[in-house]
Amino acid sequence: MDKIDLTSTLDRVIGGRTAAKLSERLELRTVGDLLRHYPRKYDQRGKLTDLAELIVGERATVWAKVESIEERELGHPRARAGTRTKRGVSHITNIVIADSHRKLTCTFFNQRHWSKQLRPGADAMFSGKVSLFNGKLQMSSPSVAILSDGRGDGRGDGAKGAPDIEVIESFPGGVIPVYPLVEGVTQALVQRSIRSVLDVLGDVVDPVPDVLLAEHGLVDFGTALHDIHRPRTEDHLAAAQRRLRYDEALAVQLVLARRRADARNYPAEPCPRIDGGLLDEFDRNLPFALTVGQQLVGEIIATDLATIHPMNRLLQGEVGSGKTVVALRAMLQVLDSGRQAVMLAPTEVLAGQHARSLRDVLGPLGRGGELGAPPEATTITLLTGSLSTAARRKALLAIASGQPGIAVGTHALLSEGVFFGNLGLIVVDEQHRFGVEQRHALRTRHPEGNPPHVLVMTATPIPRTVAMTVYGDLDTSILSELPKGRSPISTTVVPAADKPTWLDRVWKRVREEVGKGHQSYVVCPKIGDDDGEIPDDGSDLESGEDGSAGRRPPLSVTAVAQMLRDGPLVGLRLGVLHGRLPSGEKDEVMRAFAAGDIDVLVATTVIEVGVDVPNASMMVIMDAERFGMSQLHQLRGRVGRGSAPGVCLLVTEAHENASGRARLDAVAKTNDGFALAEADLELRREGDVLGTSQAGRATSLRQLSMLRDKEVIAQAREDAQGLVGDDPEMSQWPGLAEMVSAVISAESQDYLDKG
C-alpha cells in the first residue's frame, strides 16, 4: 500500500463499501476527515454500571443487549404515522435491554427511528436517569451508542475486521470513545474504521509552527490525533484535547485576521467630528443630560468613526438605557461629514417608532426642507414594505440622491432597487432579529467599494453575538446604568404545577397593583385556541422531555382573557392585543392602555417592542418556559419604565428538573443581558457558531468551547495576528491555510467573512 496521509481517500484503507457509507452519511471522505470526527464523550469500560446495580433517581451508563422492541401508537386525534405534534406524544417505543443480571426498559417518545436502528440481539450503551414506572426500572429517552447491529455475526455493518465487542474491549486503559452518529452508522463501524486508519497512518506534518507549540507546551498534531481516539491515559487525552482546541481557535482567528487584513484594502471614509455641525447643535438643545455611560461610549464611537478602519461595534444596553440617543449622535457625526446614515429595525412598528422618535428628539433639526427649519437641518425618510407605490418611489429617489441624511426602515432597505447616495453608517437595532445574510446585504451596498461603519444594538445578545464577541470580531460597548426615571425589575418564577396556590396569589398581586393606580400586562404564547402557532425560536420543549406522557396545548390570549374576566380579575378593565387585530384596532387598544383606560392588557409578544407605558408596573408571562431567554428579557423590559418598581412573574408548569425551568431560573437571577446570553450558551450548548447548519462538517468546532476556552481563544487571536501580518494568504505557512480549510468549511468561512 502506498503511503497513507491525511489527504488519502478512505476507500484505500477501509474498503469501498464502508468508505461510501461514511461519505454518504457523515460527509467523511479522507483520512483527515475521519480523524477530525472526534468523540463526543468517553466511557470507562470499568465504570459502566451493571443493571443489577442501578439506583432509581441516579444517572448511569449501561452496556447491554436488546431483548425486545415494542411500538405503540397512542391514538392522538392529530397523530399521523411519521408525524410529530407539539401538542403531545403520539408514539412510544419501548426497548427492553438485559444483561446476565437484570432487565431495563428504555422508553422513547415520538422517536420512531429507534425500532429501525436497534433490533433484538444488538449490543449498545444506554445513558440516562433511572426511574421506576409500574414497578419496573426505566430510562426515559436515554442517549444511545450502538455497538453492534444485532445481525448475529458480531460484525456490525458486515465489514471485515474484529468483532464489535473485541473492538470495544481493545481500547487501551478501557477508555471507550463515543462518536456522534447518524442513522445507518454504528459506533463499532466508526471505531473500527479509525483503528484501521491509525494503524497505517504515516508521519503527520504539523501545520502549526514549532515555535508556537513550544511556547504553549502543546503536543504535536500526529500525537494529538492518535490520543484523541485511542488515549493511553487520561493525561494523554487531556493533552490531545488541549492541542486540538488550540487548532480550532487558531483556525477561526486566522479567518478573522485575514478578514481584518483584507478590510485594510477597502478603508472606510473617515467621518471626524466637526465643530459647529449638527451634532454640536443637537447637544446644545438636548433637554436632558447624557448619562456618564452614554458620554463614554459616545466618545469611543466618535473616535471609531474618525478613522479609515470600518467600525464594527456592538452596543449592548438594557431596554430604555439610551442606546438610540447614542446611535443618533453617531449618525449626526456622519451627517456632518456629508454622508448618509441608515437605521435598520426588525419590524414596521419599530421602524415607524424610530422615525417618529428621531424626528421628535431632533425637533427642527430633523425637518430639513420644511418651512422654518434651520439651514443645517437634515431629513428623515421611512422605507417599509407597506408604503404605497408612490410613497415608495418617492422614498427611493430621495435615498438614492443622498438628500435624506437618515433613512429608517425594515428589511425593505435590503431589497433590490434600493441605492444609497453616500452611505457612511449603518445602525442595526435589535440585531438578533437579523440574519447574517441580511446585515451583509446592507453593509455591502456602498459606492466604490468603501464599506460603511456598522453599529449593532441589542438589549440581549444572542449566543452567536456573545461567541463572536469572545472571538474578538466585534468591539463591544456596554451601557450598564439605567437612565433617570427607570426602576429596577424583580423577576420571580411561579411553579404553578408544583404550587398551585401561588397562581392564586399572582392574580391577587395584579389586583394590588391596579389598586395602587398602576397597570399590568399578561402575556400568552398564542392568540386563540384554534391557533397552533407558538414562538418558534428554538425554545419550545420537546414533548415528553421530562418523561411525561404528553403536554397540554399552550395558553391563548382569548382563553386567558375570558378566564380572567369571569374569575380572578372580574370587575377590572381588561384589554386584548395581538397581531391579528386590524391596525386601527391595535392602535386604539394601545392608546387606551397608554391613557390608563385599561387596567390589564392580555397580549401576545406583539408588545415586545415599540410599547412604552411608564405606568405599567407588572407583567405576568404565562407558559413562560415556551419562550426563549432573550424574548423573556425583552418582554420584562416593558415594565419598570416609570417611578414604580417593575415586577415580572414567570408562570410555568415545567417541573423543577426540566430544561425549560432552568432557563427561567437563569432569567430570574439576573437582568444582565450578557450574563443571560452566556447562561443560554451553557443550557443549550453552543451549537454551530460558524453558520446555520447543524449537520455534517459545517459543525466543525467540536473541541472548542466559547465559555470554557476564553484564554485559548485570546491567545490564538494574538498568534493569528502575528502569523497573518501583511500576508493574508499565509503563503509562508501553507500548512496553516490547509488546516483552516480542513477545520472550517468554505461555507462557514464565508459566514465569518460576512459577520
User: pLDDT value at position 105?
Assistant: 94
pTM, two decimal places: 0.72
Return the closest-CA partner of residue 462 out of 312, 680, 625: 680
Q: What share of the chain is helix, strand, coil (3-state, %, to 5)?
A: 40, 20, 40
565 and 455 assigned to the same domain:
no
Q: How many CB atoms lie within 10 A of CB 256?
A: 21
Handedness of CA 555, 556, 557, 559 (dihedral sign): negative
Q: Do 408 and 516 sit in the same domain of this protein?
A: no
CATH number of the domain within which 59 lies: 2.40.50.140
Which residues is 216 bridged to in the sheet?
Answer: none
- 323 falls within a domain: yes
Q: What is the pLDDT of residues 365-387, one digit of tens each?
A: 988 878 778 888 899 999 888 78
Among 343-352, 396-405, 434-443, 711-720, the least confident range: 434-443
DSSP for 661-696 reads HHHHHHHHH---HHHHHHHHHHHH----TT-S--SG
| 530 shares a domain with 432 | no
The answer to whether residue 534 scores a pLDDT higher than 50 is: no
The model's confidence at residue 112, banded by pLDDT at 50, 70 and 90, is confident
Q: Would you state the cell numbers that stand for residue 662, as one nine-digit string?
A: 432552568
Q: Of the residues 670, 687, 719, which one is the last residue of a structural domain?
A: 670
> Average pLDDT, stretch 687-705?
57
Per-residue pLDDT band for 153 (boundaries 50, 70, 90) equals: very low
Question: Would the pLDDT of 304 be above 50?
Answer: yes
What number is the average pLDDT over the span 155-169? 48
CATH number reported for the structural domain that contains residue 585 in this entry: 3.40.50.300
113 vs 466, residue with greater confidence: 113
Give residue 531's pLDDT. Answer: 54
Indicate if 98 and 62 belong to the same structural domain. yes
pLDDT at residue 751 in the model: 59
Instruction: Report the range out of 95-99, 170-174, 473-477 with the highest average pLDDT.
Output: 95-99
Q: If pLDDT is split at 50, 70 and 90, which confidence band does 469 have?
A: low
- Contact partners, residue 29, CB within 8 Å, separation at least 6: 9, 10, 19, 22, 23
Q: Within this chain, do residues 512 and 438 fall inside the same structural domain, yes or no?
A: no
Greater pLDDT, 124 or 37: 37
Separation CA 311–CA 164 (nearest Å): 56
Distances (CA, A) of 151 to 118, 164, 183, 194, 677: 10, 11, 16, 22, 47
| Same structural domain, 527 and 413 | no
**365 assigned to some structural domain:** yes
CA distance 727 to 722: 10
Per residue in 179-191, pLDDT (tens digit) is 887 877 878 889 8
**Cell digits of residue 505:** 396569589
Q: Are 410 and 438 in a shared domain?
A: yes
707 located within any domain = no
The per-residue pLDDT for range 435-465, each reduced to its tens digit, is 555 556 655 655 456 788 989 888 777 666 6
pLDDT at 593 over 80: yes
User: Looking at 372-499, which runs of residues are DSSP E strands?
Assistant: 380-383, 406-409, 423-429, 453-458, 475-479, 489-495
**Domain stops at, among 606, 636, 670:** 670
In a domain, 428, yes or no: yes
Same-domain status, 522 and 627: yes
pLDDT at residue 702, rounded to an integer: 80
Q: Is the pLDDT of residue 162 over 50?
A: no
Q: Does residue 625 lie within any of the structural domains?
A: yes
Gyration radius from the chain CA atoms: 30
Q: Which of 84-93, 339-348, 519-528, 543-552 has the lowest mean pLDDT?
A: 543-552
Round to whole Å and give the CA distance between 188 and 85: 33
Mean model confidence pLDDT for the chain = 82
Question: What pLDDT is stored for residue 201 in this prediction?
Answer: 94
Q: Are residues 580 and 653 in the same domain?
A: yes
For residues 73 and 99, state if they share a domain.
yes
Look up residue 512 and give its three cell numbers. Answer: 394590588
Q: Residue 87 has what pLDDT? A: 47
pLDDT at 715 over 90: yes
Answer whether residue 395 is part of any domain: yes
Lowest mean per-residue pLDDT among 81-95, 112-126, 330-344: 81-95
Instruction: Verify that 532 and 646 share a domain, yes or no.
Output: yes
Indicate if 437 and 567 belong to the same structural domain. no
**What is the average per-residue pLDDT within 723-747?**
81
- 438: containing domain: 278-479
- Which of 463 and 644 is assigned the larger pLDDT? 644
Q: Rounding to the nearest 10 degrees, give the CA dihedral for residues 44, 93, 543, 147.
A: 20
At residue 232's C-alpha, the angle toward residues 230 and 237, to 5°, is: 75
Q: Lowest mean pLDDT of 38-42, 217-221, 480-484, 570-574, name the range.
A: 480-484
More confident residue, 220 or 539: 220
Q: Is 25 domain-assigned?
A: no
Lowest-confidence segment of 80-94, 150-164, 193-207 by average pLDDT: 150-164
Do the beta carbons of residue 344 and residue 327 sit within 8 Å?
A: no
Choice between 514 and 644, residue whose per-residue pLDDT is larger? 514
Confidence bin at 705 (pLDDT 50/70/90): confident
Q: Is the pLDDT of residue 415 over 50?
A: yes
Count H helices, E strands: the chain? 25, 21
Q: Count up the domains in the chain and report the number.
A: 3
* Chosen domain end from 134, 162, 190: 162
The verdict on residue 31 lying in a domain is no
